[in-house]
């Protein structure tokens, strides 16, 4: 894409009311726009990165055998009353509104209830199980405060997968496969090194749930990290009993702040029982389906990457989630030689299927370099009179600052 | 995809409260699920078809130079008060809710206001124009009645593009290009024959807007069709003045019921003036941006296709929007010969990049054929003992019922 065509411009300063580093950088670089606290629109660069993250998650969910759906945001009170999650005294972050006839409806903050209900149309016998169903869908949560940029929104995209098994044993097998898929996702988006599978409280149906926590000072959670074993324990369950269970000694773990980038949870029959999602087992006996839930917020992942992959000049995207693979920066001369070479290279790279943002704007070199650092594409190709004299294109890695000259014909 | 793995099942009867043909068929075939009147979830088959439609629209919007974004559903009252569209007396289909601090927020029924406001960060001079910005985004409209299935929802996906030009002349050029892009979209999704560019009322900034109306008895609109000229006039402006303007005679046009599947509209400075989206022209003078809007609901398009492309047995998808290209139906024998041949063919077609739904279920031939007719994939490949004896695979066109035998090795 030609940068002269991109409608967004970078800006020197973030809005004064924006305190989160992720939002400050993403707004300054033109990735997102703040509509109100906790509600951000995605601009072309931001949507590209969000879609890269979504694409990676989708691949891993499909590899797990997940089937993609898209449920509504509008929620029927009846289903949530049945599980005792309608009352504001029980769930304090509902957005509720009403139909013309006065009936109250909610905006889904999660989707256990409607999906459990929906599955009743399709699950009758043990032959219809197991199933894994997922979606990328906008959640609404009426957060009291929303000051963390895209880390915690009042409206945000979520990938939520739900598993449906005949018994706890087959659930446990799926759960372990899902844990591996989650680890792969964080590895692939570039958060592998600093993200820990973290033991957290489990609820009625299992001792633990698992959170995926990325170590980061901006995080709201406190975890205890065991570096050697590459695992962590959430503060809420960091006690002698849990340490003994896991065979760990307290002084082997280090306290860190972290962002919860994903979580997987055994639901058991918490929803299938009240909503009556049952199946006939091999003996013809009616039994409730055994469920699990598996969430990741692609926007929160994006915000976490910015929090952990940036320097004083701007964002430093990992390759897999960068909006473009290459930032081609042309410093035009008066004769038009640079422009011609840059145009040709842009066409050549694009024809190879390489996604290029081509800075063809008529502005000063300093402005181009500052914008490029801020936008954070991992590879910068600079073409100028100087580079052409020196042999071709100057290639600079955003992460390391390392510069090499390369012959244009070799690209 | 193997049909034994697909979690949805077909059903003989639609829910009793469902009166719209599109929803009846789509629910029976397992494409959608009704959450409440006017709010439907998309199941795997339905999401596939919806995404095919979205993909076609996206290609045409990108070809127009559109840049994709994704705005929030939550809406700031302030922006809508500025254009006098907040008050329920002015706009009667708002869903409104409130933040914890008591501030009212709305759920976007359209996005002129927030996008116009957003563009103020990026448009300063005539050099920043023209621009075309679009999104696929969920709209919320508090419809009094919602009985038309996915033709008119309380919550539905919409593609809305907005154009930003320096003057009316360049706007008019873009508008004409958008009109052609819209015609191509309806052609590509399989509605070309029955869809008419229709003159409708224009508002303050132009004599007409254009609706794209698909002739269909289930439609809510009345249009007057000129077959020879492949155009129509909406009843609301079907009068002698308009006929004279267009050089048409009243008796050349035929009254029809139709579904509005898209519309394009000159907004002029209706939103840029109150929201102060201005730019400096070549002479340095500040002027309001001249805007247009261009909408299509992919779900409504899908519902319209079902209304117009179905028979007594079920849906008949046009190829470009079918969830799968081929429905491979295997009638297993006891020796396992058919299963082996069908498995091999499934792998072969899939390896070629052909999307196949493979009915590998252990059920009667009649059930498989009925389901296949209902689901409506354009090509059915039947493999059975009989077909293998007769030379290979029986290929049946869903639309015409035409059957040919084909050698397996030629596929």
Nearest CA-CA partner of B398 in B327, B348, B330: B327
For an interface test with A, give the residue of B13, B40, B74, B123 to mutate (most A CBs within 10 A). B74
Residue B2: helix, strand or coil by DSSP? strand
- What ipTM, to 2 d.p.? 0.97
Instruction: With a cut of 90, say whether residue A407 has pLDDT above it.
Output: yes
Contact B31, B392 (CB under 8 A): no
- In chain A, residues 259-278 whose CB comes closer than 8 Å to chain B: none
Picking from A299, A313, A300, A203, the residue whose alpha carbon sits closest to that of residue A258 is A300
Residue B373 vs residues A166, A274, A409, B16, B345: alpha-carbon distances, Å: 31, 36, 56, 22, 21
> For A328-385, how does the pLDDT look when each residue is reduced to its tens digit (9 = 90+)?
999 999 999 999 999 999 999 999 999 999 999 999 999 999 999 999 999 999 999 9
B15 part of contact set with chain A, CB < 8 Å:
no
pLDDT, mean over chain A: 97
Strands (E) located in A45-112: 67-68, 74-76, 95-98, 104-107
Contact call for A155 and B72, based on CB within 8 A = yes
- CA B326 to chain centroid, in Å, comes to 22
**Residues contacting residue A134 through CB under 8 Å, at least 6 positions apart:** A61, A66, A67, A68, A69, A159, A160, A161, A162, A294
Which neighbouring-strand residues pair with A254? A225
Tell which residue, B155, B190, B122, has the closest CA to residue B398.
B190
Please, where are the H alpha helices in A64-198?
A: 77-82, 112-119, 168-189
Give how far the C-alpha of residue B369 lies from the chain's centroid of Cα atoms, to the nearest Å. 28
pLDDT for A208: 95
Band the pLDDT of B15: cuts 50, 70, 90.
confident
Between CA B229 and CA B177 the distance in angstroms is 19
Would you list the domain boundaries of chain A? 21-311, 324-410
**Which residues, 6+ apart, have CB-to-CB distance to B342 below 8 Å?**
B328, B330, B332, B358, B360, B383
Nearest partner of A200 among A169, A172, A224, judged by Cα: A224
What are A373's two structure tokens? 């650092």
The predicted-structure confidence for B351-391, as pLDDT tens digits, reads as follows 999 999 999 999 999 999 999 999 999 999 999 999 999 98
CA distances from B341 to A386, B5, B261, B333, B334 (A): 64, 19, 43, 11, 13
Whether B119 contacts chain A with CB within 8 A? yes
User: Could you tell me what percentage of chain B is helix, strand and coil, using 3-state DSSP and rounding each to the nearest 5?
Assistant: 35, 30, 35
| Alpha helices per DSSP H over B101-250 | 112-119, 168-189, 240-246
Which CATH architecture is the domain A324-410 placed in? 3-Layer(aba) Sandwich (3.40)
**Measured between CB atoms, does A303 come within 8 Å of chain B?**
no
B297-335 burial: b if 16+ Cβ within 10 Å, else e? bbbbbbbbbbbbbbeeebbbbbebbbbbbbbbbbbbeee
Helix (H) or strand (E) holding B394: strand B393-397
Would you place residue B280 in the very low, low, confident or very high pLDDT band (cuts 50, 70, 90)? Answer: very high
Q: Take residue A378 and report the two structure tokens written for it.
A: 């991992």
* Average pLDDT value over all residues in chain B: 97
DSSP state for residue A392 in the 8-state scheme: S
Place of tokens 């088959």: B45
pLDDT, position A111: 98
Neighbours of B227 (CB within 10 A): 11
Q: Which among B220, B211, B209 is positioned nearest to B259, based on CA atoms?
A: B220
Listed range (A111-120, A215-224, B199-208, B250-259) with the worst mean pLDDT: B199-208
Contact B269, B206 (CB under 8 A): no
- What are the C-alpha distances in Å from A403 to residues A102, A392, A397, A409, B169? 65, 13, 7, 18, 47
Instruction: Tell me whether the CATH fold assigned to A21-311 matches the one assigned to A324-410.
Output: no
Residue B163 exposure: Cα atoms within 13 Å on the Cβ side: 30
pLDDT tens figures, A24-79:
999 999 999 999 999 999 999 999 999 999 999 999 999 999 999 999 999 999 99
Q: What per-residue confidence (pLDDT) applies to A391?
A: 84
pLDDT 10s digits, B216-225 = 999 999 999 9
At B140 the three-state DSSP class reads strand
The residue among B47, B70, B152, B279 with the most chain A CBs within 10 A of its CB, best to mutate, is B70
- Asked if the C-beta of A9 comes within 8 angstroms of chain B's C-beta atoms, the answer is yes
Say which DSSP state A289 is in: P
Strands B326-330 and B356-359, sheet pairing: parallel
Is A78's Cβ below 8 Å from some Cβ in B? Answer: no
Look at domain B21-310 and name its CATH class: alpha beta
Answer CATH for A21-311 from 3.30.930.10, 3.30.70.100, 3.20.20.70, 2.102.10.10 = 3.30.930.10
With pLDDT > 70 as the criterion, what percentage of chain B qualifies? 100
Which tokens hold the place of A337?
């030689």
Interchain contact, B74 vs A121, CB within 8 Å: no
Condensed to tens digits (0 to 9), the pLDDT of residues A77-124 reads 999 999 999 999 999 999 999 999 999 999 999 999 999 999 999 999
Whole-angstrom distance, CA of residue A129 vs CA of residue B155: 31
């Amino acid at each position: 894409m030609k940068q002269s065509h991109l409608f967004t411009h970078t800006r020197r300063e973030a809005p004064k009311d924006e305190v989160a580093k992720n939002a400050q950088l993403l707004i300054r670089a033109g990735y997102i726009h703040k509509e109100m606290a906790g509600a951000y629109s995605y601009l072309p660069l931001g949507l590209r990165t969000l879609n890269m993250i979504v694409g990676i998650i989708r691949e891993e969910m499909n590899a797990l055998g997940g089937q993609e759906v898209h449920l509504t945001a509008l929620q029927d009170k009846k289903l949530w009353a049945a599980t005792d999650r309608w009352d504001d005294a029980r769930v304090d972050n509902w957005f509720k509104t009403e139909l013309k006839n006065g009936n109250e409806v909610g905006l889904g903050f999660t989707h256990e209830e409607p999906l459990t209900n929906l599955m009743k149309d399709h699950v009758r016998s043990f032959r219809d199980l197991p199933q894994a169903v997922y979606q990328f869908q906008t959640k609404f949560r009426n957060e009291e405060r929303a000051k963390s940029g895209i880390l915690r929104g009042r409206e945000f995209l979520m990938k939520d997968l739900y598993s449906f098994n005949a018994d706890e044993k087959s659930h446990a097998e799926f759960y372990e496969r899902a844990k591996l898929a989650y680890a792969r996702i964080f590895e692939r988006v570039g958060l592998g090194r600093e993200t820990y599978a973290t033991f957290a409280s489990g609820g009625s149906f299992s001792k633990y749930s698992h959170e995926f926590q990325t170590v980061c000072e901006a995080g709201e959670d406190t975890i205890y990290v065991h570096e050697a074993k590459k695992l962590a324990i959430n503060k809420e369950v960091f006690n002698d009993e849990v340490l003994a269970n896991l065979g760990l000694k307290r002084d082997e773990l280090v306290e860190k702040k972290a962002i919860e980038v994903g979580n997987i949870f055994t639901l058991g029959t918490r929803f299938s029982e009240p909503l009556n999602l049952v199946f006939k087992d091999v003996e013809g006996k009616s039994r409730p389906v055994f469920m699990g839930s598996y969430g990741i917020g692609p926007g929160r992942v994006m915000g976490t990457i910015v929090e952990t992959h940036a320097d004083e000049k701007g964002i430093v995207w990992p390759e897999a989630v960068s909006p473009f693979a290459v930032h081609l920066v042309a410093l035009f001369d008066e004769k038009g030689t640079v422009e011609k070479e840059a145009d040709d290279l842009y066409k050549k790279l694009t024809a190879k299927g390489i996604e290029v943002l081509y800075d063809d704007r008529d502005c000063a070199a300093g402005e181009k370099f500052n914008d490029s650092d801020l936008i954070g594409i991992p590879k910068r190709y600079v073409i100028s009179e100087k580079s052409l004299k020196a042999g071709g294109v100057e290639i600079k890695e955003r992460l390391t600052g390392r510069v090499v000259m390369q012959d244009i014909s070799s690209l």
